[in-house]
Structures are given as structure tokens and as C-alpha cells.
């Protein structure tokens, strides 16, 4: 019996609330690394945090669920999730990007 291929998805997240200055980005990097999700996270000048997550559907969904809470000091109001095309050429791992 052959295992079914793993569905890979990519999602763009925009996290609103008290999410800057509370260790949110580093906590997301750690969560994504544990889950095997690749992508990036960055602060935005409007006070939100933006992240691109790509990987097995279950792992990406688990990271999205994590994003609704974040680290203990965060106060997440909402998480916007947008479907994105899979970027097979993105760098491995999950990293921080510069603020935009």
C-alpha cells in the first residue's frame, strides 16, 4: 500500500492586536520550526505582524491555530488568512524579515 502524497499549502497571515514587542515573531519562528513549516514572519509599520507559512496542510493549519493565541504577552484580536500560490523556491526553514 502506498501512502497518499502530503498536500502542501501556503498561507499569508496578518495578525492584528497587541502583537509587536511581545516576542511574537520569535515565538512564531520556534512554533513553525517545531511543526516543520517554512516561510517568514515580519512586523509591519501599521502594528500588525505578517507571516507566510508553507508546508504540509496539517502543519500550516496548526501554525494558524497557534497564531490566534501567540505567546503569553500577546493579545491577538484577529488573524486574516489568505491562500497563496506555493513557492517551491523559498528558502528552507522559517525566518524573520525586515519590517515593512
Domains of the chain (ranges; CATH) run 8-85 (3.30.70.100)
Q: Which listed residue (11, 14, 25, 34) is catalytic?
A: 25
Distance of alpha carbon 2 from the chain centroid? 30
Closest by alpha carbon to 67, among 18, 13, 26, 22?
13
pLDDT at residue 88 greater than cutoff 70: no
Is residue 43 among the annotated active site residues? yes
Assess whether pLDDT exceeds 80 at residue 31. yes
Tell me: pLDDT of 90 over 80: no
Q: What is the mean pLDDT of residues 74-83?
A: 98
pLDDT at 3: 62
Q: Say how far apart CA 54 and CA 56 lie, in whole Å.
A: 7
Residues sharing a CB contact under 8 Å with residue 19, sequence separation 6 or more, in sequence order: 47, 48, 49, 70, 74, 75, 76
Torsion angle of alpha carbons 32, 63, 22, 100, nearest 10°? 80
25 is catalytic: yes
Average pLDDT over residues 47-69: 97
Catalytic residue among 11, 38, 42, 43: 43
Highest mean pLDDT among 3-12, 17-26, 85-94: 17-26
Amino acid at each position: 500500500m502506498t501512502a497518499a502524497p502530503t498536500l502542501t499549502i501556503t498561507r499569508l497571515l496578518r495578525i492584528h492586536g497587541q502583537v509587536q514587542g511581545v516576542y511574537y515573531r520569535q515565538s512564531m519562528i520556534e512554533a513553525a520550526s517545531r511543526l516543520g513549516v517554512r516561510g517568514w514572519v515580519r512586523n509591519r509599520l501599521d502594528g500588525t505582524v505578517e507571516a507566510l507559512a508553507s508546508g504540509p496542510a496539517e502543519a500550516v493549519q496548526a501554525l494558524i491555530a497557534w497564531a490566534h493565541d501567540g505567546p503569553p504577552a500577546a493579545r491577538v484580536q484577529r488573524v486574516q488568512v489568505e491562500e497563496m500560490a506555493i513557492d517551491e523556491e523559498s528558502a528552507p526553514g522559517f525566518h524573520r524579515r525586515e519590517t515593512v
